Amino acid sequence: MDLGDILTKEQIIIDLQATDRWQAIDELINNLVATGKISPEHHDAISAVVKKRESSMSTGIGFGIGIPHASTDLIGEVVGALGRSSKGVNFDALDNQPVNLVMLFLVPQGQFQKHLHTLANIAKLLHRADFRQALEQAPDAEAMLKIIKEHGTK
């Protein structure tokens, strides 16, 4: 599953307000509720499972990237939201640098291979400096989605 398959422009927040990883996770989950990707009544349960996963080890993988993720039986398909922060988010990243791109994704419970495959695809794409730079400079969510779709096929 590629990033372009998961996101719509409505699921991209071009100016994350969060200052830490917990706020960023909440902001992205709120986006998934607002866009109808998860039910409002599942917000707290999904937030708890993502934060539990994040507590075990930060998903701030370096290079200004955070990829919080979790499996849950409260969704039927892979869903995600992308946030961009110009100020940077304190993510307790491996390189101790602030995170500018936060990609939250959720995978249905029991789909371990899909979970790993999705995580690997997202990490591989976000590790490319040209891709990150293009996302950071894009003027709006529509331009960001276009970049994601173009790079996802390379």
Query: Could you give all domains of the chain from N- to C-terminal order, each with its CATH number?
Result: 3-152 (3.40.930.10)
Q: What is the DSSP string of 5-34?
A: HH--GGGEESS---SBHHHHHHHHHHHHHH
Task: Say if CB 11 and CB 81 are below 8 A apart.
Answer: yes
Each residue's pLDDT expressed in tens, for the chain with a length of 154 residues: 678 889 999 999 999 999 999 999 999 999 999 999 999 999 999 999 999 999 999 899 999 999 999 999 999 999 999 999 999 999 998 899 999 999 999 999 999 898 888 888 888 998 899 999 999 999 999 999 999 999 865 5
pLDDT at 56: 92
Distances in whole angstroms, Cα of residue 152 to Cα of each of 7, 49, 80, 93, 114: 12, 28, 15, 24, 17
Which one, of 83, 73, 132, lies nearest residue 106 by Cα?
Answer: 73
Residues taking part in catalysis: 69
- Give, as one character, the DSSP assignment of residue 125: H
pTM higher than 0.85: yes
How far apart are alpha carbons 114 and 93 in whole angstroms? 24
Quote the pLDDT of residue 153.
56
